[in-house]
Amino acid sequence: MKKILLTGSNSYIGKSFVKWLESNHSSSVITVESLSVRNNEWLEKKFIKYDTIVHLAAIVHNPTASKELYYQVNRDLAFQIAKKAKNDGVKQFIFFSTLSVYGLSQGIINKNTPLNPKNDYGKSKLQAEEEILALEDDTFKVVIVRPPIVYGPGSPGNFRKMLMFFEYLPVFLDIPNKRSMIYIDNLSYFLYLLIDNEERGIYIPQNAEYSSTYQIFLKYREKRKCFSLRIPHSFVDIIKKSSIGSKIFGDLVVNSNVCHYKLPYQIVSFNESITSFRKV
């Protein structure tokens, strides 16, 4: 039986992972405990009984957070927990980072894409990656996970807002685009595989297929009336380059070669994932 310690258990990914484990695996196979890191009491906790620590706690895009807080939490705290994990004899440390370490809002991410974060969130995460990876040795495995947009029922952020928009809007622009995304159950299963196979390395998990905003609209409203607006190709680039248009119709994908993993983990297809929102 593997014993897992999870920080950020109240996050969307944390809660979803625990729920997924409860539904798919017996507690005799894997158990998860949560760790609060809001104060320094975690320093007194002994990590030696855990096989893996999954670190999800972070300051994400918080407009009220100071620059210093991003680095204190995302870099310094993450490193302190990883260092204690190593000193206490934990075998594996999984750190959740972000695609923001690349600093791209549009384009294609491949093996040669430089790390060039543009904001304090991305910079603090990249610095944490570097410090934590420096701890790795034969007895302490480090995993860095850089997920793209994570979505699923109950997910926070713009994806949920977009679906609320689609709920009442029967017409949408037919503009092609591609986005790397990952459904929460696919990410949960991927995380389980990383733990079960005692992996190390840097990973960017994503769905088996890229997502299109227009296709999301069509799938979400497939049992209701919906209409498409086609516009001249000359206007497509103008819309996609605008500040709002780039967020809705921008292209940001991770090359499939970068995301390759030895075992299949995309247990939910794109169509099934969008359909799941209509059940809640």
pLDDT tens digits along 2-28: 999 999 999 999 999 999 999 998 777
26 and 133 housed in the same domain: yes
147 and 260 housed in the same domain: yes
Rg (CA), the chain: 20
Distance CA 31, CA 191 (A): 14
Q: What is the predicted pLDDT for the residue at 269? A: 94
pTM assigned to the model: 0.94
* pLDDT tier for residue 280 given thresholds of 50, 70 and 90: very low
Q: Answer whether residue 201 is part of any domain.
A: yes
* pLDDT tier for residue 235 given thresholds of 50, 70 and 90: confident
pLDDT > 70 fraction of the chain, expressed in percent and rounded: 99
Q: Answer whether residue 276 is part of any domain.
A: no
Torsion from C-alpha of 33, 37, 42, 46, nearest 10 degrees: 40
CB 256 within 8 A of CB 110: no
What tokens were used for 224? 């209701």
When pLDDT is averaged across residues 231-245 and rounded to a whole number, the result is 86
> 187: domain CATH number?
3.40.50.720
113 and 189 housed in the same domain: yes
- Long-range (24+ apart) CB contacts under 8 A made by 84-87 are 84/43, 84/47, 85/47, 85/50, 85/53, 85/140, 86/135, 86/140
9 and 60 housed in the same domain: yes
Which structural domain range is residue 239 located in? 158-178+211-252
